Structure 1
Amino acid sequence: MCVQLVMKIGVIGLGYVGIQLAVAFGRRFDTVGFDPDHVKIKAYNSGIDHTGEVTQSQFKLALKAVYTSNINELLDCQIYIVAVPTPVDEQHLPDFGPLLKASETVGQVMAPGAVVVYESTVY
């Protein structure tokens, strides 16, 4: 008997790390790339990455990925990857604002049993 794993991945934060994750996972798994920046989403849906991390051909290979600013698209994901920055101030103290905001977003849509992975870059 063959068991097929069905899963949907949500990537929250589509900066230079998150967009690469969404595109890579989108080659094999249903993937929702979420970012509140509508301009960024429009560019990604046109196959354009202004960070220069993802090429148009890589976007084309990610057939199972969608890019959106609509939080409801994340509702049926089983795995969430939070990929947001953690900038530091002049005293080198971290600003957890982006991390907290992304966590609130995930908390609004996740179901019991969901897996949440945090990938945060410190500047």
Structure 2
Amino acid sequence: MDDYLPPATPGGENARGDRRADHGPLLVWAIRTVEEFSDDILAAWAERNRLHAAAAGNIATAASRAALRAFMDRIDAAQLPIPTTQWLGRTTIAGASIAALTRASLGHHL
């Protein structure tokens, strides 16, 4: 951000009465942020959609249940955090991602 915004004022950013002078640099910063990260954002969105489509198409089988169990056992053994996501303002398990990685169905239970 320091490359695009002017240095902070001694009295603080709200010390000036006219804040419209800050809009130009902020707009430049926002545009450059979008330009620099848009490819990554679009790639992440495409991967999310791919994982969700894969998870939705999975069918529960004994093999997929074993893969899910092995995945969770590795997380438990290494004391890794369970993959989570934000859903409706709450943290919840990333079921679609886990299902896509293990080929388990979304309704699989351990």
Larger Cα-atom Rg: 2
Fold similarity call, TM over 0.5: no
More helix by share: 2
Name the TM-score, length of structure 1 as normaliser: 0.20
Name the TM-score, length of structure 2 as normaliser: 0.21
